[in-house]
Amino acid sequence: MAAVLAARALRKSYRGKEALVGVDLEVGAGELLGLLGPNGAGKSTLTKIACGLVRPSGGSVEVLGRPAGSPPARAAIGYLAELFRFPGWCSADELLVLHQRLCGSAGGASERAELLELVELSHAAGSRVETMSKGMQQRLGIAQALVGSPRLLLLDEPTSALDPVGRRIVRGLLEELRRRDVAVLLNSHLLSEVELVCDRVAIIADGKLVREGRPADLERPRGVEVETANGVRLFEGAGREEAPEIVARLVAEGERIHRVEVLSSTLEDVYLEAVRGRTG
Amino acid sequence: MARSVTTVIGYALREGLRRRVFLAVLLLSLGFLALYGVGAHFAFRDASGFAEGEAKILDPKAFTGATIFGMAMFTTLFLGSVLAVFLTLGIVRGDAESGLLQPLVVRPIGRTTLLLSRFLAAAGLSAAYVLAVYGGALAITWQAGHWAPDHLLGPALALAFAVAIIAALSLLASTFLSVTAQGIVVFMVYGAGLTAGLLAQIGHAIHSATLHSIGHTASWVLPFEGLYAAALHALISNTSGLTGVVLQLGPFGGSEAASPGLIVWAFIYTAGVLAIAAMAFARRDL
């Protein structure tokens, strides 16, 4: 799978303080990569370098083979910042028109209508931004990021202001983007959300990439828990493969089995282990 | 690129309209012109007998017209400068800190085009405003006292250019300073420029080479002041005799005409200020 986003030996320092230390990361077409890490770990810096808002101190970032921040790279991305604001006097439709013009999209009214429908804001096309709730503005921000059909979408905490219904809408949207072969880099603190939608997870701590892989591959077996007539027994370190053997042995010993559960570490366990309890 | 420029200019215009900036400016400017009209009427009426006598040493109409119209130009420059500063307030650092700038900057338009488009919008609007108020004051002055300046177009263009320079300086300040600091710094620079101009005026009157040199240097360091002084001079450049001398020495008189060098320098200066602003913006992490 050709990389849509490729960061190689990426470094960034702010006045001598290292924010990123040699990060290598790739996101392929149609892939949804969840970027996790404590506050101040360097997630937003990486995202901002990818869209040309911040200049790297070393290494490189390419979008579809073009240097991040170059006009062709910018034409290929959509971005929603963690802290963003749209002009309050603008209506949702006017905001999308502005971004269509700035990125040269020929989508016209049909693209705007489709994007507003995707984020379930069709009813608010004529509403001014200043009259919208924070959640509506965040969904409008996602629609804005999708103007011009970007090949790479960079979302920095896109669901931080959303209620559960809003989060479900965004999850559905991300699934739809995967079907359309759009690559997505998703910065989020919501581990359950990342676990639900992301193909791969990358964990950053102190500017370094400390863990990367599919959520299922990152999780490790914790043991097999068996409930018998004599109580609950935990076979630590055992996995799914060992479970039938454990049950057969207990039955042979005359135990009556009521419940068997294969325990594995959650993404939260993996995350906490990777960041060693660090918080920003 | 042209499409991006017109898009950003249109965005700036719509922002001004929706935020009712233009409405407020229009109402206040009409208020100023109404007051100016009342002032001009009574000034011409009461000055008609001024310096009467056997030896009529002063032309009351020219003296009154040039003085009150010079005052109108001072106010026009001030109002145009306020508009230029507010239209460029927080355009870079302020908007970046509030999160307004990032969604625009990541688009293919590019930072330099974005910055220059915002300058064109602010400078264009401020210059158009100055021309409109200048035209209004000119019509009122003619109506009240049948007096017109010696040159009509030159002073208007000089004032318009002066506010464009202030818009460029304000834009440069916005790349380095927070919103409040930007406003304070630009108005202090504006005040310093006008004060230096007055010093030059005084130096000219009392034949002080040092004061005149200070004013001359200031008009090159801050060419909006040189253009303003040249605009005042053009009002009465053909007025001769004691009336011309007295007007030149007054607070709204200009002792020096605009040299071609000053005008060329003003263009180079504006381009230089914008180039520095664009370079600073290009290097800024957002």
**Interface contact A144, partner B, CB < 8 A:** yes
pLDDT of residue B252: 64
User: How much is the average pLDDT of B150-169?
Assistant: 95
Q: Considering only CB atoms, which chain A residues are within 8 Å of B19?
A: 89
B269 Cα to chain A: minimum distance (Å): 29
Residue with tokens 């990439």: A209
pLDDT of residue A52: 93
**Interface contact A52, partner B, CB < 8 A:** yes
A18-43 pLDDT tens trace:
999 999 999 999 999 999 998 888 99
Q: Considering only CB atoms, which chain A residues are within 8 Å of B99?
A: 81, 83-85
pLDDT of residue B214: 82
d(CA B225, CA B220): 8
User: How many domains does chain A contain in total?
Assistant: 1
Confidence of residue B205 (pLDDT cuts 50, 70, 90): confident
pLDDT of residue B35: 95
Say whether pLDDT at B285 is over 80. yes
Residue with tokens 């053997």: A245
- Tell me the average pLDDT of chain A: 90
* C-beta atoms of B286 and A48 within 8 A: yes
Selection from A155, A187, A160 nearest residue A37 by Cα: A187
- Which of A54, A86, A101 minimises the CB distance to B3? A101
Confidence of residue B55 (pLDDT cuts 50, 70, 90): low
* C-beta atoms of A74 and B106 within 8 A: yes
Confidence of residue B242 (pLDDT cuts 50, 70, 90): low
Chain B, nearest residue to A75 by Cα: B108
- For chain B, what percent of residues have pLDDT higher than 70? 90
Of B259 and B181, the one with more pLDDT: B181
Structural domain includes residue A258: yes
Contact B69, B146 (CB under 8 A): no
Residue ranges covered by each domain of chain B: 2-283
Say whether pLDDT at B48 is over 60. yes
d(CA A179, CA A215): 20
Q: Which domain range does residue A227 map to?
A: 221-264
Chain A, nearest residue to B19 by Cα: A89
pLDDT of residue A4: 94
* C-beta atoms of B108 and A99 within 8 A: no
pLDDT of residue A216: 79
* C-beta atoms of B103 and A81 within 8 A: yes
pLDDT of residue B40: 94
Say whether pLDDT at B244 is over 70. no
pLDDT of residue B211: 84
User: How much is the average pLDDT of B47-63?
Assistant: 72
**Interface contact A17, partner B, CB < 8 A:** no
Range with lowest mean pLDDT among A32-41, A185-194, A244-253:
A185-194
Selection from B176, B152, B158, B170 nearest residue B267 by Cα: B158
* C-beta atoms of A101 and B4 within 8 A: yes
Q: Give this prediction's pTM.
A: 0.84
* C-beta atoms of B285 and A51 within 8 A: no
User: How much is the average pLDDT of B143-162?
Assistant: 93
pLDDT of residue A163: 87
Q: Considering only CB atoms, which chain B residues are within 8 Å of A83?
A: 99
DSSP state letter for A130: G
Whole-complex ipTM:
0.81
* C-beta atoms of A85 and B18 within 8 A: no
Selection from A54, A73, A236, A229 nearest residue A151 by Cα: A73
B51 Cα to chain A: minimum distance (Å): 57
**Interface contact A123, partner B, CB < 8 A:** no
- Which of B98, B103, B108 minimises the CB distance to A71? B108
Tally of CB atoms within 10 A around A108: 10
Best B9, B98, B104, B107 residue to mutate vs chain A (most A CBs within 10 Å):
B107
B81 Cα to chain A: minimum distance (Å): 24
Of A162 and B121, the one with more pLDDT: B121
Kindly compute the dihedral angle of the four CA atoms of residues B80, B81, B82, B87, in this order, to the nearest 10 degrees: 90
Of B274 and B194, the one with more pLDDT: B274
Structural domain includes residue A257: yes
d(CA A100, CA A258): 61
How do A77-80 and A183-187 pair as beta strands? unpaired
pLDDT of residue B212: 80
**Interface contact A229, partner B, CB < 8 A:** no
Best B5, B102, B111, B113 residue to mutate vs chain A (most A CBs within 10 Å):
B102
**Interface contact A97, partner B, CB < 8 A:** no
Q: Considering only CB atoms, which chain A residues are within 8 Å of B4?
A: 101-102
Residue with tokens 């009214």: A109
User: How much is the average pLDDT of B207-226?
Assistant: 86
Say whether pLDDT at B54 is over 80. no
Confidence of residue B237 (pLDDT cuts 50, 70, 90): confident
Contact A267, A223 (CB under 8 A): no
Half-sphere exposure of A220 (CA within 13 A, CB side): 7
Say whether pLDDT at A1 is over 80. no
* C-beta atoms of B100 and A74 within 8 A: no
- Tell me the average pLDDT of chain B: 88
- Which of B98, B109, B110 minimises the CB distance to A85? B98
Q: Which phi and psi angles does B221 have, rounded to 5°?
A: -70, -40
Selection from A92, A82, A84 nearest residue A129 by Cα: A92
Tell me the three-class secondary structure of chain A, residue by residue: CCEEEEEEEEEEEECCEEEEEEEEEEEECCCEEEEECCCCCCHHHHHHHHCCCCCCCEEEEEECCEECCCHHHHHCEEEECCCCCCCCCCEHHHHHHHHHHHHCCCCHHHHHHHHHHHCCCHHHCCCEHHHCCHHHHHHHHHHHHCCCCCCEEEEECCCCCCCHHHHHHHHHHHHHHHHCCCEEEEECCCHHHHHHHCCEEEEEECCEEEEEECHHHHCCEEEEEEEECCEEEEEECCCCCCHHHHHHHHHHCCCCEEEEEEEECCHHHHHHHHHCCCCC
Chain B, nearest residue to A70 by Cα: B108
pLDDT of residue A230: 85
pLDDT of residue B51: 62
Q: Which phi and psi angles does A262 have, rounded to 5°?
A: -85, 120
The residue length of chain A stands at 280
B109 Cα to chain A: minimum distance (Å): 6
User: How much is the average pLDDT of A207-211?
Assistant: 91
Say whether pLDDT at A164 is over 90. no
Work out how many CB contacts closer than 8 A connect A with B: 67
**Interface contact A102, partner B, CB < 8 A:** yes
Confidence of residue A267 (pLDDT cuts 50, 70, 90): confident
pLDDT of residue B276: 97
Structural domain includes residue A226: yes
pLDDT of residue B183: 94
Burial B147-169 (b: 16+ CB within 10 A, else e): bebbbeebbbbbbbbbbbbbbbb
d(CA A242, CA A223): 9
Q: Considering only CB atoms, which chain B residues are within 8 Å of A89?
A: 14-15, 18-19
- Which of B4, B15, B98 minimises the CB distance to A89? B15
d(CA A245, CA A74): 56
